[in-house]
Amino acid sequence: MALFIVSGLLHLLIGMRLVPALPMLAAVALGLWLALSTALVPLGLTARRWARPPAADRLAAAGLFALGLFSTLLVLTLARDLVLLGAHLLDAGPAALDRRSAQLVPLLALLLTLVGLLNTRRTARIKHVDVPIANLPAALHGFTIAQISDLHVGPTIRAAYVQRIVDRVNGLEADAVAITGDIVDGPVPELRPHVAPLAGLRARHGSFFVTGNHEYYAGAGPWVAEVQRLGIRVLMNEHVVIERDGASLVLAGVADYSAHRFDEAHRSDPTAALAGAPAGAGARVLLAHQPRSATAAAAAGFDLQISGHTHGGQFFPWIFFVRLQQPFTAGLHRLDRLWVYVSRGTGYWGPPKRLAAPSEITRLRLVAA
């Protein structure tokens, strides 16, 4: 009920600011869409309460598209009000600007939403990143890790997309594959067929997975078991040692930063993940879903942390709000002696919409500093 009330009030705000300034036909069209969207947004977010698959998936897809359009429409409406306020203070023809901008805002919001939708339909592209590691042994120079993050398999991301990702990752012929959480948005019985292609991932030293916050929303225990069944090694505050031509690389993983809120036994602990690792390892790499793990990872002595979670903001204006929760939004960053790489994600969450934050498969290559 709270979702419906909030949705109704915000849609009403948009209608009050735009509809009176529009020509009759445009006003009716926008008014009808706002009425429909008022219901679609909360229904889409709670689709599993009202229907079963595949009807629930169709309802969720429609609601999430409406949410993406509504989000941009609200932001542009508020921006328009600021422009009108400035025009009024400067006496710069506010009446004419009011009419023109009221027509422009819905059209621009729809255009941006459609472009964002198209961006989510294409297969994530490969991003190549070199990470300089101090005192890296020659045997580990060029060691590659293919990262997948934030697939969010669910109502609008299905097996066909996952298979295309697997094919593209396998084409990299990486030394290891890292899946840094949030592969699903739903329970195992519903999504098992759609994550099944992950069993086809290939790398010289195997594929590794750490939990993200969405695994806990969907049921972490069953999903950890399912990922293991697919032949992917789950790193739960633990590590493996990879030997290459006499040099060793420690690849560790921690549970999601917020995992203890769901299961105290899964409390994220980079120090515990490194316990017992060889002191003379040539590189220490941590898989951690959220960038917020970086402070503890640096204290534990890791050289590189590989994360996701942020989606790079996914679309405006959330690109700017991510920094309120996470220390890094996207790309390669430095924290003391620790490198932190944050993926923009291989899928997307919520609205099928990406603007100025393209999805990615990341090929990380360790190089001597």
* Tens of pLDDT, residues 267-286: 999 999 999 999 999 999 99
Same domain, 178 and 311: yes
Count of domains observed in the chain: 2
In the prediction, which pLDDT does 36 show?
Answer: 97
Q: Which of 61, 86, 121 marks a domain boundary?
A: 121
In the prediction, which pLDDT does 92 show?
Answer: 66
CB atoms within 10 A of CB 365: 15
Q: What is the pTM of this model?
A: 0.93
Same domain, 183 and 307: yes
Same domain, 79 and 209: no
75: containing domain: 2-121
Same domain, 161 and 36: no
The parts of the chain modelled with pLDDT lower than 70 are 92-94
Q: Which of 121, 146, 175 marks a domain boundary?
A: 121
In this structure, what DSSP letter does residue 125 have? E
Same domain, 227 and 265: yes
* Tens of pLDDT, residues 137-195: 999 999 999 999 999 999 999 999 999 999 999 999 999 999 999 999 999 999 999 99
In the prediction, which pLDDT does 54 show?
Answer: 86
Same domain, 221 and 136: yes
Same domain, 84 and 210: no
Same domain, 102 and 220: no
Q: By three-state DSSP, how is residue 256 classified?
A: coil
Cβ-proximal residues to 32 (8 Å cutoff; 6+ apart), any chain: none
CB atoms within 10 A of CB 2: 7
Q: Which of 121, 148, 173 marks a domain boundary?
A: 121
In whole angstroms, give the CA distance from residue 200 to residue 323. Answer: 35
Q: Contacts by 89-93 with C-beta closer than 8 Å and gap 24+?
A: none
Q: Residue 348 sits in a domain of what CATH number? A: 3.60.21.10
Same domain, 164 and 115: no
Q: By three-state DSSP, how is residue 251 classified?
A: strand
In the prediction, which pLDDT does 52 show?
Answer: 84
In the prediction, which pLDDT does 17 show?
Answer: 96
Same domain, 74 and 144: no
In the prediction, which pLDDT does 317 show?
Answer: 81
The residue to which tokens 């690849």 are assigned: 251
Q: Is the dihedral of CA 4, 9, 13, 15 positive or negative?
A: positive
Q: What is the β-pairing status of strands 304-307 and 338-342?
A: parallel
Q: How far is CA 338 from CA 64, 99, 354, in A?
A: 37, 53, 29
Neighbour order of strands in the sheet with 238-244? 238-244, 247-253, 283-287, 304-307, 338-342, 331-335
Q: ω before 317 within 30° of 0 (cis)?
A: yes
Same domain, 96 and 198: no
Same domain, 361 and 255: yes
In the prediction, which pLDDT does 1 show?
Answer: 84
Q: Is the dihedral of CA 229, 234, 239, 245 positive or negative?
A: positive
